[in-house]
Amino acid sequence: MIIGIIGGGQLGMMMAEAAKKYQHTIIGLDPNSLCPLSYVADDIIVSEYSDVSAISKLIETCDVVTYEFENVDLELIKKYENKIPQRSDALHFSKNRLIEKEFAKNLNIKTPRFFRYVNQKVLIPSIIKTTTGGYDGKGQFKIMSQSDIDQFKLNKNTEYIVEEYIDFDYEISVVATRDQYGKKVYYPVPRNTHKNGVLFLSEALNDIDGLIVSKAINSTSLILDKLKYIGTLAVEYFVKDNDVIFNEFAPRPHNSGHYTIEGCTVSQFENHILAITGEKIKDSTLVNPSIMINVLGKDKDYIKRINSSNIFYHDYLKYEARSNRKMGHITIVSETKSDTISKRNSIIEGQL
């Protein structure tokens, strides 16, 4: 099949790597001719995401199209929905944090308290976030006291959401794939740690309380079915006092599921490709305890020198190593949990 990928970042790159296993042809669309996907795709259409005619051309040329991020034109996705298995509902609800949280609430999924920011009304403590366009912690302001409000130069023309600050015990995500036959596969639930709003660690060690896992999977199942979603999707949750609180969902493979490439019998990318090409998805289990570490900014130079077994490095081949930019990731998959954790510690301390 000819698969089109809107967005040429690392997610597109890893989708394409999985698609190659099935001899699919890949055409990507990205403003940058040297984007990560360009090293794997058969062709790249170099175009801005706002260029409706270029995206239309991509969709018309391909048998099926997938998007790797939420910043895609909703109307265009609606128009070509028959060729885009992820469908437009998933985008509609995930593009705007207010609409997204209302959506979860309507499914009876617990969320932090939230409301649209008007007349300087806030909760304390809370986080104010732009309703659209934010990622990796961008566009977020932590409000710990009333005076914090004056400190932040909130833009009058931007819509914000005020979210109750959750002093969570830890964060998890459920990465799942649903196919057109209604089958759903859930990958082992990782525990996620963020640094400056950017994901740093995803640890799939099979050590999360069973009740927490089943609550999170139940909510994720409701979301997948409501959206009639086909492909891989992830839902982020806060865990507090044995309860699971919805944070956000992403209608695409997710950074916290990268460990599935080496850590599971089938990866989130392979099942995404199977689902969107109309095939049946495969069950996926944890092969070994796995930890994924994101390689941010200039850490790349150190990571490249690591030479140790059971450690897999994925270089996204980006040119510019801006601070906090995701340059690659490594996955540690050791036979024992203790060895996986000890390798993680050595890497974080820069001693491998």
Site for ligand ADP, rule CB under 6 A? 112, 127, 134-137, 163, 165-166, 171, 194, 197, 236, 247-248
Compute the distance between CA of residue 185 and CA of residue 188 in angstroms, rounded to an integer.
Answer: 10
Dihedral of alpha carbons 89, 90, 92, 96, sign: positive
Tokens found for residue 121:
């009304």
How many residues bind Mg ion (CB under 5 A)? The answer is 1
Compute the distance between CA of residue 175 and CA of residue 237 in angstroms, rounded to an integer.
Answer: 11
Answer with the entry of ligand ADP, Mg ion, none that 127 interacts with (C-beta below 5 to 8 A by kind). ligand ADP
Q: How far is the CB of 124 from Mg ion (least distance, A)?
A: 22
Residue closer to Mg ion, measured from CB, 45 or 166: 166
Q: What's the Cα-to-Cα distance from 76 to each of 28, 80, 98, 100, 276, rounded to whole Å?
A: 16, 6, 22, 20, 18
Residue closer to Mg ion, measured from CB, 68 or 236: 236
Give backbone dihedrals phi and psi of 94, rounded to 5 degrees, phi first: -95, -15
Considering only the stretches 21-29, 41-49, 178-186, 235-243, report the one whose residues sit in contact with Mg ion under the rule CB under 5 A.
Answer: 235-243
Q: How far is the CB of 236 from Mg ion (least distance, A)?
A: 5
Q: How far is the CB of 192 from Mg ion (least distance, A)?
A: 9
Output the residue with the shortest Cβ distance to ligand ADP: 166
Tokens found for residue 302:
């150190």
Residue closer to ligand ADP, measured from CB, 193 or 285: 193
Residue with tokens 């989130």: 268
Enumerate long-range contacts of 97-103, CB under 8 Å, 24 or more apart: 97/129, 97/130, 97/131, 97/132, 97/134, 97/161, 97/163, 97/248, 98/131, 98/159, 98/161, 99/131, 100/248, 100/249, 101/161, 101/163, 101/246, 103/226
Tokens found for residue 148:
């914090």
Answer with the entry of Mg ion, ligand ADP, none that 89 interacts with (C-beta below 5 to 8 A by kind). none
Helix (H) / strand (E) element for 101: namely helix 97-106
Residue closer to ligand ADP, measured from CB, 164 or 339: 164
Residue closer to ligand ADP, measured from CB, 79 or 194: 194
Residue closer to Mg ion, measured from CB, 199 or 273: 199
Considering only the stretches 79-87, 185-193, 230-238, 262-270, report the one whose residues sit in contact with Mg ion under the rule CB under 5 A.
Answer: 230-238
Q: How far is the CB of 248 from ligand ADP (least distance, A)?
A: 5
Site residues (vs Mg ion, CB under 5 A): 236
